[in-house]
Amino acid sequence: MKPPITYAEDVFDVIESKQDDCPPIGQNAEGYGSKIHMPYLVRLNGKTRWHRVYSVISRNVGSVYIIVMGKRYFFRHDPNLRLTGVWRK
């Protein structure tokens, strides 16, 4: 049985984002992949570390997530909609 999906908005109080220059590493020739680097970084709860945003794309569906201490946290809202800014609960 797969573990339930954990959403970043439910776990972290403040999520700050910024855009970064990064090519979409990790996708195959058709544009699909399970860990595609996105050109966005997020900082959680005011900590100093920025986390890379990744995307998993299969067929015509995609989801974005970050990895914190080996665990995936998905986003309900695509960070592409908010290029920079701060999200609060």
Per-residue model confidence as pLDDT tens digits over 30-89: 778 889 888 888 888 878 899 999 988 888 888 889 999 999 999 876 555 454 555 555
Q: Evaluate whether residue 2 is within a structural domain.
A: no
Task: Give the pLDDT score at 85.
Answer: 57
Q: Evaluate whether residue 1 is within a structural domain.
A: no
Task: Give the pLDDT score at 87.
Answer: 59
**Sheet containing strand 33-44, strands side by side:** 71-74, 61-68, 50-58, 33-44, 14-19, 85-88
Range of the domain at 80: 8-88
Helix extents (H) in 1-89: 8-11
Instruction: Give the global pTM.
Output: 0.79
Task: Give the pLDDT score at 70.
Answer: 92
User: Token pair for residue 50?
Assistant: 């920025």
Q: Evaluate whether residue 46 is within a structural domain.
A: yes
The DSSP secondary-structure symbol of 39 reads E
Task: Give the pLDDT score at 62.
Answer: 84
Q: How many domains does the chain have?
A: 1
Q: Do residues 20 and 41 touch, judged by C-beta distance below 8 A? A: yes
